[in-house]
Structure 1
Amino acid sequence: MNTITSTNFNFPNQKSVYKGKVREVYNINDDLLVMVATDRLSAFDVVMPKGIPYKGQILNQIATKFMEQTKDLVPNWLMATPDPNVAVGYLCDPFKVEMVIRGYMSGHAAREYKAGKRILCGVPLPEGMKENDKFPEPIITPATKAEMGDHDEDISREDILKRGIVSEADYVVLEDYTRKLFQRGSEIAASRGLILVDTKYEFGKTKDGKIVLIDEIHTPDSSRYFYAQGYQDRQDNGESQKQLSKEFVRQWLISNGFQGLEGQSVPEMSDDYIETVSDRYIELYEKIMAEPFVKADVSQIQERIKTNVERFLAEHY
């Protein structure tokens, strides 16, 4: 399959390019950002050697549609989507924290809890919880934003303020926006027979000082979803939950001896396994968005993106 695992575009008025774990962000004249969602797959903060067909298109389309569905609650950076893999928006100064919000004891929180921790990012966790139990109220457990190849690190609200990473006035807004977005995301998920378990949001400031949502929102890379039907029965019976997220990749890696720890090697992903991952991402899209996924033409994917972005910039900038 033709995947896009890296780009090297040179758009008109381009100032710089930033390459993240799965996205490449082109700065146009210190004014706009062209964000290309690649087909790279990251797990345990490590980028896997092979791309996943259509993954970038899936992430980009979920994120941009959810931005449209939440802009009445929280302003965002998005201007347009000139290509299935591309979002264009206003240049922002990003906050150096990811706002992680959890409605359930799952994933990283469950692993920490099993290890005996009862405080996560300064938030006390109730005793007697089982993996995938619902918290009494959603909790915010921020993480410092890692550079590519580094691990994001848990951090408390208190430490964020003490270290001056975010001002208190701004942090109050970030918390408010995080809770509002999670509430809306949970309502949309419920309407589709899903539970939004946990997610992360990233925010930035525009040139005029407005705090806006940036990056992705409610995608399977940034969020975990459970199927609502049978959730309580599975909890009562001590069974694992049916979920829609990247967790299935993490579990496969763990079962093959990889958790991103020093000295560990990424296991070989066969073409057949890559195809199953692509199929799972398509299933995620169709369930989360409640619409069929339409595969874009990937025969000349680099040329397609270049043409669509250059046309957009010529017409609108």
Structure 2
Amino acid sequence: MRLLPEAVIPELPNYYRGKVRENYDLPDGRRVIIATDRLSAFDRILTRIPYKGEILTQIARYWFERTADICPNHVLSYPDPNVVVGTRLDILPVEIVVRGYLAGTTSTSILPRYRKGQRTMYGITLPDGLRDNDRLPHPIITPTSKAFDGGHDEPLSEAEILAEGLLTAEQWATVSDYALKLFARGQEMAAKNGLILVDTKYEFGTNAAGEIILADEIHTPDSSRYWIAEGWEEAVASGMRPQSFDKDFIRAWVVDRCDPYKDEIPEIPLSIVERTSDVYAQAFEAITGQAFVPDLSGATVLDRIRANLAPLF
């Protein structure tokens, strides 16, 4: 299997390295975003997963094309399976996380907080008596600060967002409306394929005209949590973790062995890496209903990307 650990292309201008993506800003206002195979969690890179960047780009494409009637998105073209060319946006400093279930393992997730006895979080009060991975009475928005340059996201409430001037009241109303509608569409379509869209994050930005545009990715296994619908009720009743398609698989492996926010991450075995790659491919097929056939053209993934982006040099 082939890997794309990074995609540094000196011929492209204005390089910025994100956690898992390489970004280049063209003079005409377009942004080139290349998805690598880096896997990020706990605010750090854990490992590299073969074909991950290609799979995520194509899953996001599937969803962008099926939600364009709900809100505008940044996509202009797909010159390569790992690449999207989009409109350059000024990213809003708030990440919009929508949750439909009491789940999660990270410090910003609601399940660990609920287990500690917290009932009010993100400005929302949850009822007593919920079990691990239970369905919430209704989807909720749990926003976090948008940490740039590898920083740590922090929980926010609507009141804090407005008081700190992170978003205007109009912007908050718009992104909240978009996010809940996108999540409803995602849950509806996932259910038809035997999946549960548990929670997801959305990033929004503004274009030159000040319009709010959906950015980054949408409803991928990296930005979302999916469970297999069959067996979910039994798992909740027995206190087991529902079968999933997301990177909680590796998260759980790491958490069982260290404190990922403080300790050095142990080397993740090749068998776990390969299994995770298979999980991403299975997720692509379950979500889209299409077989995943990797693009093996070019001597390496980077060689193929360079050839496909050569017209932009």
- The letter of the residue matching 1:67 is F
Partner in structure 1 of residue 193 of structure 2: 192
Paired with 1:201 and 1:188, the residues of 2 have a C-alpha distance of: 17
Q: In the comparison of the two structures, how many residue pairs are matched?
A: 308
Partner in structure 1 of residue 3 of structure 2: 3
Partner in structure 1 of residue 256 of structure 2: 255
**SS of alignment partner, residue 35 of structure 1:** strand
Paired with 2:258 and 2:51, the residues of 1 have a C-alpha distance of: 27
Aligned partners of 1:2 and 1:299 also within 8 Å: no
1:11 positional shift? 3.9
Partner in structure 2 of residue 300 of structure 1: 300
Q: 1:39 aligned to 2:37?
A: yes
Partner in structure 2 of residue 20 of structure 1: 18
Deviations 1:55-90 (A, max 9, x none): 000111111111011001111000111101000011
Q: 1:276 aligned to 2:275?
A: yes
Q: 1:90 aligned to 2:87?
A: yes
1:3 positional shift? 1.2
Partner in structure 2 of residue 66 of structure 1: 63
Paired with 1:45 and 1:104, the residues of 2 have a C-alpha distance of: 23
Partner in structure 2 of residue 266 of structure 1: 265
Partner in structure 2 of residue 182 of structure 1: 183
Structure 2 residue runs of 5 or longer lacking an equivalent are none
Identity in percent:
43
Aligned partners of 2:70 and 2:182 also within 8 Å: yes
Could you list the structure 1 runs, at least 4 aligned residues long, displaced by more than 6 angstroms after superposition.
none
- The letter of the residue matching 1:55 is K
1:229 positional shift? 1.4
Paired with 1:126 and 1:187, the residues of 2 have a C-alpha distance of: 25
Paired with 2:287 and 2:259, the residues of 1 have a C-alpha distance of: 28
Paired with 1:2 and 1:8, the residues of 2 have a C-alpha distance of: 17
Deviations 1:248-303 (A, max 9, x none): 110000112142x22x0011122232211111111111111111101111632112
1:91 positional shift? 0.8
1:232 positional shift? 1.8
1:123 positional shift? 1.0
Aligned partners of 1:4 and 1:302 also within 8 Å: yes
Aligned partners of 2:57 and 2:83 also within 8 Å: yes
Aligned partners of 1:192 and 1:288 also within 8 Å: yes
1:30 positional shift? 5.3
1:239 positional shift? 2.8
Paired with 1:10 and 1:163, the residues of 2 have a C-alpha distance of: 39
- The letter of the residue matching 1:19 is R
Aligned partners of 2:89 and 2:207 also within 8 Å: yes
Partner in structure 2 of residue 53 of structure 1: 50
